[in-house]
Structure 1
Amino acid sequence: MIQDIGTHCYHNEYIPVPPKEQDFILCYKEKNVLVKKTKDSFLLPRFCDIPNWETEPYIYLFSIDEHHFYMLPKMQPSLLSDFIFEDLVIFRSQQPKELCFALITGFHLFSWYESRKFCGKCGEKLLHDTKERMMYCPHCHNTEYPKISPAVIVGIRNKNKLLLSKYAGRNTTRYALIAGFTEIGETLEDTVRREIMEEVGLKVKNIQYYKSQPWGLSGSVLSGFFCDLDGDDTITLDREELSTAQWFEREDIPYDDYDVSLTREMMIQFKKGLY
């Protein structure tokens, strides 16, 4: 999955050390990221790629191994003429994996910073704390920490079948599992039952936790579950959420090598008879 970066070590502690010339810059524009694509992979800009980099104001994000990653709020992308904005989805298929993980994790933080410019309590401009990753209001003393939304991914088993679906309103050919965000006052298991009932009108039992995954595209942490159908297998589709949903025999589950997502891994695990 996207967080599986082999022997590389991800450090998310907030340590706002000054950048060095070989440290990385993550620059986003909406859902695009500034990169230089090569034949089989991509490169991220480094501080040594821009003039007078020592004077650029920076926001420290995280580290992977000995390399630090930063955002430069006032940097002009035109300074990096060899780099272009590419759709963030390149993280799904490109190499190296540790930089793909950096792209999506940095996007999570970028989205949070973009939505935390002003205090939600009094409207004053927020300031960045110097000791921890937190925005604070100097007027009313309100504090804002990074937002992480819990969500579930669910593999619904019906003996030798698995329920696969496609989201409504998206140009995608890939099937997915039932998913949804946890509401206030819910357990994750309650979310599983509610989302399944709302989206496909089914009852389930034997809810079993599989594993979790950070997913920066939606600012969430996903918890994967398998469960068994309880009763009638007739699907009642919520067409505002899904364009289709159907039962697939284990051997007929669509398979490809795309394995960065928790959804895809769970589908493969069921197809192989492991769940």
Structure 2
Amino acid sequence: MIHEIAPHVLDNQFKIQDPKPNDYCLVYNGSKSLLKKEGNGYALPTVAEIQKLGFEDFEGHYLLNIDERAFFLLAVAEDYAAPEGYEFTGNRAFRPMAPVERLGGATAAHIAHWEALNKFCGKCGNVTIRGEKERSIICPKCGNVVYPRISPVVIIAVRNGDKLLMAHNIDNPNPMLFLISGFVEVGESLEQAAHREVMEEAGVKIKNLKYFGSQPWPFSDSLIAGWTAELDGDDTIHMQAEELSEALWVKREDIPPYATDVSISCCLIENFRTGFTLPET
């Protein structure tokens, strides 16, 4: 999964650190990241490369380290035009990158998005500042403190004998089938959210819900909790058309291999496809 980068080590503790020329720099315009065009994909620019674009007096601030190589953030205006050889892109551009750049870049974009949403205090409207002792946004007028937004999500692999409940979200440009998932609502436990999401999106009940694992998902400012479950009763699917374009039971032998280096969804699917089951605890 995206956070499994061993032997590389992520250090995301808050600190103040000066940039080095070879450190990475995420330039963020409030909604997208400035990346270098590289063949058919993209690459993260370094501090030195960003300085050559007219930011000689570098004013970016430190975000995190991976293997002692730091990631910095430089916020620019929304109308800042991408220089030749660069492009402002959404978070999906990080997904094909190598593990270190993928995790570091997407996590940096997660923080950048949070900062961009909190330039002004949500309580009194005053201009905010960054905290100096921890990762936070502080209002110097009323003292309101805002911490990074991490939204909990559940994703569920529902089994029906040798079949798996698979679906395709209407907002996902990837045509492959994945699993039922959704955000946890206020006042709801993770388990309650799992039951609700399956019922809302597929119209079926589940039982024997078991925790599988979790992962950070910076592409939607989330932390995802993965679960396995079994069908409880009628297997007739009543698909929520507002959310999904497809929802169906897929036989184990009809499921193609899924790469497990990025998402817990693929790990859950592979867990079912290969016939692996978690040991009883």
Give the TM-score normalised by structure 1. Answer: 0.91
In structure 2, give the amino acid aligned to 1:88. N
Residue 88 (structure 1) aligned with residue 84 (structure 2): no
Greater Cα offset, 53-62 or 103-112: 53-62
- Residues 74 and 178 (structure 1 numbering): CA distance in 2 closer, same or farther, change over 3 Å? closer
Give the match's secondary structure for 1:26.
strand
Percent identity over the alignment is 38
Residue 216 (structure 1) aligned with residue 212 (structure 2): no
- The corresponding residue for 2:202 is 200
C-alpha distance in 2 between matches for 1:222 and 1:170: 17
- Decide whether the 8 Å contact of 1:126 with 1:136 is kept in 2: yes
In the TM superposition, what whole-angstrom CA distance separates every residue of 1:19-64 from its partner, at most 9, and x where no partner exists? 1222110123466433334459754222222148663222221111
Give the match's secondary structure for 1:108.
helix
C-alpha distance in 2 between matches for 1:247 and 1:181: 23
- Decide whether the 8 Å contact of 1:45 with 1:83 is kept in 2: no
Greater Cα offset, 16-25 or 202-211: 16-25
In the TM superposition, what whole-angstrom CA distance separates every residue of 1:185-224 from its partner, at most 9, and x where no partner exists? 2111111111111111111111111110111111010000
C-alpha distance in 2 between matches for 1:16 and 1:220: 25
- The corresponding residue for 1:163 is 165
- The corresponding residue for 1:20 is 20
- Residues 79 and 92 (structure 1 numbering): CA distance in 2 closer, same or farther, change over 3 Å? closer
Greater Cα offset, 85-94 or 99-108: 85-94
Structure 2: tracts of 5 or more residues without a match: none
Give the match's secondary structure for 2:14.
coil
Question: How far apart are 1:89 and its partner, in Å?
Answer: 1.8
Give the match's secondary structure for 1:72.
strand
In the TM superposition, what whole-angstrom CA distance separates every residue of 1:2-22 from its partner, at most 9, and x where no partner exists? 111121100110112111222
Structure 1: tracts of 5 or more residues without a match: none
Question: How far apart are 1:157 and its partner, in Å?
Answer: 0.5
C-alpha distance in 1 between matches for 2:173 and 2:14: 37
- Residues 58 and 28 (structure 1 numbering): CA distance in 2 closer, same or farther, change over 3 Å? closer
Query: Superposed, which structure 2 residues align to 1:1-275 within 5 Å?
Result: 1-29=1-29, 32-38=32-38, 42-49=42-49, 50-51=51-52, 55-74=57-76, 81-94=84-97, 96-257=98-259, 259-275=261-277
- Decide whether the 8 Å contact of 1:25 with 1:72 is kept in 2: yes
In structure 2, give the amino acid aligned to 1:239. A
C-alpha distance in 2 between matches for 1:176 and 1:269: 13
- Residues 79 and 111 (structure 1 numbering): CA distance in 2 closer, same or farther, change over 3 Å? closer
C-alpha distance in 1 between matches for 2:229 and 2:126: 47
Greater Cα offset, 28-37 or 117-126: 28-37
C-alpha distance in 1 between matches for 2:25 and 2:15: 16
In structure 2, give the amino acid aligned to 1:114. A
C-alpha distance in 2 between matches for 1:230 and 1:124: 52
- Residues 169 and 150 (structure 1 numbering): CA distance in 2 closer, same or farther, change over 3 Å? closer
Question: How far apart are 1:171 and its partner, in Å?
Answer: 3.7
